[in-house]
Amino acid sequence: MDENVIVALEKRGVVSATFRKLEPVKKKTIYKVVLAAFAEDIFESVSLEKVALAAGISKGSLIQYFMHKGNLLEFAGGIFLDDYRRHWDNYFMTEYAVRAKDRIANFMAAHLDYWDNAKTEFKFFMKIHYENSADLTKGIRNEFLKLRSGYFSQIIGRGMETGEIRRDMETEFISLLILASLKNLEQIYAAALQTPKTKVDLKDLAAKTVMILFDGIGG
C-alpha cells in the first residue's frame, strides 16, 4: 500500500488527514477489512458498525477517517486499483515473450493466476463490476476499463507493427473484444469458485481463448 496513493486519496477528499497519519500497519488492516467487506456484500449491506468492529476501531473513528460510507468503497477501490496497476505495470516491464499471441496468452493465464492468489481481491473486483450500482462504481469501473484495455492496446499496437495482427480494425475495438474474452474467463473462474467440486483447467481455457482470438473459429 503506497503512501502516495493515500495522499492522492486525501486530496480527492476520500480519506481524511487523520487517516493518512495513522500507522501504516493500521491503515493496511483497515484496507483489508474494508476490501473484504465489499468483497462479501453489496454496498447497501455493508454496515459501518460491522466494518468498525472487524477493524477493531470505533464507528466514530471510521467516519472520521472516511467522512461518509461512500468513501469506504472509493478508498478500497482506489488502493486496490493502485496495487493492481502496480502489479501489471511491473509484469509488463519484465515480460520476456515476443510474439503478440504469446504475450496475450501469458497475460491471460497470469491474470487467472493472479486472481487465484488473491481471492478477496477477485471477489471485490467482481462485486464492483457485476453487483453494485453504477452510480457508486462508475469511476472505478472506468479506471479498470482504461487500464486493462490499455494493456491490450499496447500489445495489439505492437502486433500490428510486426504484422502479427490484422491492421484493418481499430486497435481500441480489438482491445475491447480481447478484454471481453478475459472477462469471460473471469466469469468462468468465478462460477468455478462457487461450485468447488468443479475442476477447471484455467490455463487450458486461456490457451484456447487466445487460439480462437488469433485463428478464429472458422473451420
Q: Is 51 exposed, middle or buried (0-12, 13-18, 19+ CB in 10 A)?
A: buried
Element (H, E) at 142: helix 134-162
Q: Which stretch binds its own copies (CB under 8 A): 1-9, 31-39, 78-86, 164-172?
A: 164-172
The whole-angstrom separation of Cα 11 and Cα 15 is 8
Q: How far is CA 7 from CA 61, 69, 83, 172, 182, in A?
A: 19, 19, 15, 32, 32
49 is a site residue for DNA (CB under 7 A): yes
What would you measure as the largest C-alpha separation in the chain, in angstroms? 64
**Listed ranges 13-21, 30-38, 153-161, 207-215: which one lies at the site for DNA (CB under 7 A):** 13-21
Choose between 50 and 101: whose C-beta lies nearer to DNA: 50
**Contact residue for DNA among 2, 12, 42, 60 (CB under 7 A):** 60
List residues near its own copies by CB under 8 A. 42, 44-45, 101, 129-134, 156, 159-160, 163-167, 169, 173-174, 176-181, 183-184, 188, 205, 208-209, 212-219
List residues near DNA by CB under 7 A. 16-18, 21-22, 26, 45-49, 57-61, 63-65, 67-70
